[in-house]
Amino acid sequence: MASIASRKSRAERFAAFVRRSGPYRWVGLYDVTPEEVILLGFSGGAPPAHPRFPRGAGLTGAAIARGEAVVSNDVATDPRYLTAFDTTGSELIVPILDERGRVVGTLDVESAGRDAFGPGEVESLSGLSVSVASLFTGISVRTARPADAAAFAEIYAPFTDRTAVSFEEEPPTAEEMCARVRRTLQWTPWLTATNESDVVGYAYASKHRDRAAYRWSVDVSAYVRESFRGRGVGRKLYDELFGILRRQGFRRACAGITLPNDASVALHLAAGFEPVGVYRRIGWKLGAWRDVAWLARDLDPDDAGRPPSEPIPFSSYDDDP
Ligand SMILES: CC(C)(COP(=O)(O)OP(=O)(O)OC[C@H]1O[C@@H](n2cnc3c(N)ncnc32)[C@H](O)[C@@H]1OP(=O)(O)O)[C@@H](O)C(=O)NCCC(=O)NCCS
């Protein structure tokens, strides 16, 4: 997991700093996704009993629902405490919000004693949490590089052999992913989203079909690292991607989505796609026939009816976002 090392190590350094700032036995930072809460880094000996748990669970679930800090000064009598350690007396959860007010992370501070967190501690630890918000919210988008391929392979792998999201059945190697990136970049963009120099997602376009008259149409796809889902990375990648595709002279973007996939359908609808239709039972994967929904959008709605000029291949296009 070399590609997530820098976020994790920064989270661990921050957790160690917070732990030294008071009588705290364990401090952790968690990513919050639409479904789950996933440990990013911690300080204080052992990992917790639950390195990932459902978004609604525990004191963390209460802090996410309220969008503000939640304290339990006696976890032994608090049914909300999701027992991480038998030795914890008090727990404080501080939610970390993005610019749209979505909870994207949490700071979890545990103390062995009871009554550890008064208003002063809550205020100072909430203040400290602001200094790591960029670990959860800072997203940049740039053209993909061969060195990103290992991270792409890691993000994509689970969708090949464990789900029907992709109709590939074997995870491609990093070398194969690298070859795909190089091939794709000849004609269309492949973009990388990063946080703290870690690759957290990618999106790319490819030819819709080979025959000549299709050459203004592309297929698009996006994959976001699990811990970063639901915080606008897919939207940001697509906004950049469609801007470049439009300037290259492409006119129409299409997307095929194996059903069900609520997140992908939501992303494409939010990005201006309209449903075209559903290919019923078009693929056999993991023991079942699968339906694929197709969606499409104009890339340049003002120009949709006029004859097109030739698209500029991405390899000769000079406009890195
Ligand atoms: C699909 C995927 C790329 C979306 O990226 P993302 O960064 O999580 O999505 P965003 O945070 O940008 O959200 C885009 C829109 O979808 C909505 N959305 C995101 N996740 C959702 C979910 N699980 N359920 C319902 N809606 C969801 C958001 O609310 C947002 O709408 P809004 O802008 O109107 O608020 C990502 O979830 C993913 O990688 N999934 C696994 C791989 C996959 O299925 N790829 C697509 C293959 S077709």
pLDDT digits (tens, 9 = 90+) for 67-83: 999 999 999 888 888 77
The residue whose CA has the least distance to atom 35 of ligand 1 is 270
Specify the ligand 1 atom closest to the Cα of 229.
Answer: 8
Residue found under tokens 């976001």: 224
CB within 6 Å of ligand 1 — which residues?
34, 159, 165, 221-224, 229-235, 257, 261-264, 266-267, 270
Q: Residue 117 Cα, ligand 1 centroid: separation in angstroms?
A: 36
Q: What is the pLDDT of residues 181-220, one digit of tens each?
A: 999 999 999 999 999 889 999 999 999 999 999 999 999 9
Q: Residue 51 Cα, ligand 1 centroid: separation in angstroms?
A: 23
**Which residues are CB-neighbours of 120 under 8 A, at least 6 positions away?**
none
3-state secondary structure of 14: helix
pLDDT value of position 196: 82
Percent of the chain with pLDDT over 70: 97
- Give the H or E element holding residue 237: helix 233-248
Domain residue extents for the chain: 2-136, 140-316
The residue whose CA has the least distance to atom 34 of ligand 1 is 270
pLDDT value of position 167: 98
CATH of domain 140-316: 3.40.630.30
The residue whose CA has the least distance to atom 33 of ligand 1 is 270
- Tell me the one-letter amino acid at 278: V
Between 271 and 84, name the one with better pLDDT. 271
Q: Please check the confidence at residue 305 and state whether its pLDDT lies above 90.
A: no
Q: Please check the confidence at residue 9 and state whether its pLDDT lies above 80.
A: yes
pLDDT value of position 3: 46
> What mean pLDDT, rounded, does the chain reach?
93
How many beta carbons lie within 10 A of that of residue 89, not counting itself? 18
Q: Please check the confidence at residue 86 and state whether its pLDDT lies above 80.
A: no
3-state secondary structure of 97: strand
Report, as an integer, the average pLDDT of 124-151.
94
Q: Give yes or no for a cis peptide into 172 (omega within 30° of 0).
A: no
Between 76 and 1, name the one with better pLDDT. 76
The residue whose CA has the least distance to atom 43 of ligand 1 is 223
**Which residues are CB-neighbours of 146 under 8 A, at least 6 positions away?**
178, 181, 182
First to last CA, the chain: 27
Q: Could you say which architecture CATH assigns to the domain 2-136?
A: 2-Layer Sandwich (3.30)
Angle at 200 between CA 217 and CA 193, to 5 degrees: 50
pLDDT value of position 1: 41
Q: What is the pLDDT of residues 133-145, one digit of tens each?
A: 999 999 999 999 9
Report, as an integer, the average pLDDT of 96-108.
94
